[in-house]
Amino acid sequence: MTKEKATFAAGCFWGVEAAFRSIDGVLETAVGYCDGTTQDPTYEDVCRKNTGHAEAVEVEFDSGVVTYDKLLEAFWQMHNPTTLNRQGPDVGSQYRSSVFWHDPVQRDLAETCKQRLNATDKYKGAIVTEICPAQTFYRAEEYHQRYHEKNGGGACAL
C-alpha cells in the first residue's frame, strides 16, 4: 500500500468530505481549514471571513487503489468550479474552490486537468479554482468530522 495525501476545497466541507469518503481507496479524511493567515483558527473565526482560510478536506488515499487523477475527477464533479467564493447558498472566500498540491506531480496534474476542462464546453464559465501549494492544515473541531455520517446530509450553516 502506498499512502498519499491530497487536499481540496470545494465549498462547505461536510458534503465534500462525505463524497471523498465514498471513493474506494480513500483511507481517511479530515475536514479543516487551509491557506489562511490565522494560526489554529476555529470555525467561528473562519466564518467571520477575516482569517483567509478555506474550508478544506484532507484526504489520505492508497494510490495503488485510487489515483490522484481519479480524486481530481471527483473533485471537479462534486462542485461548480466556475463560481468565485461560493457554492450553492454558501458565500464567502472560505467556500472557494482550491486544489492544494503536496508535490510538483500533483500541481502539474491539477493544472493540466484544469486547462483541459477549460478547453471543453462542460462549464458555462471559466474555472476559477485556485491551484496552490498546501499550507498548514488545521483540523476542524470534532463535531465537524464526518458530519454527514453523524447527522445526515443537509445545508451548511453556522
pLDDT, one tens digit per residue, over 55-114 is 999 999 999 999 999 999 999 999 999 999 999 889 999 999 999 999 999 999 999 999
| Alpha-carbon separation of residue 139 from 17, 96, 124 (angstroms) | 13, 18, 34
Q: Which CATH class is domain 3-142?
A: alpha beta
Neighbouring CB atoms inside 10 A of 119's CB total: 8
| The pLDDT value given to residue 134 | 97
| C-alpha separations of 12 from 4, 79, 91, 110, 124 in Å | 23, 10, 10, 21, 22
Q: pTM of the entire structure?
A: 0.93
Q: List the domain boundaries for the chain.
A: 3-142
Of 12, 34, 113, 156, the active-site residue reads: 12
Whether 12 is a known active-site residue: answer yes
Model pLDDT for residues 26-47, shown as the tens digit of each residue: 999 999 999 999 999 999 999 9
Determine the Cα–Cα distance for residues 42 and 63; give it in Å rounded to an integer: 31
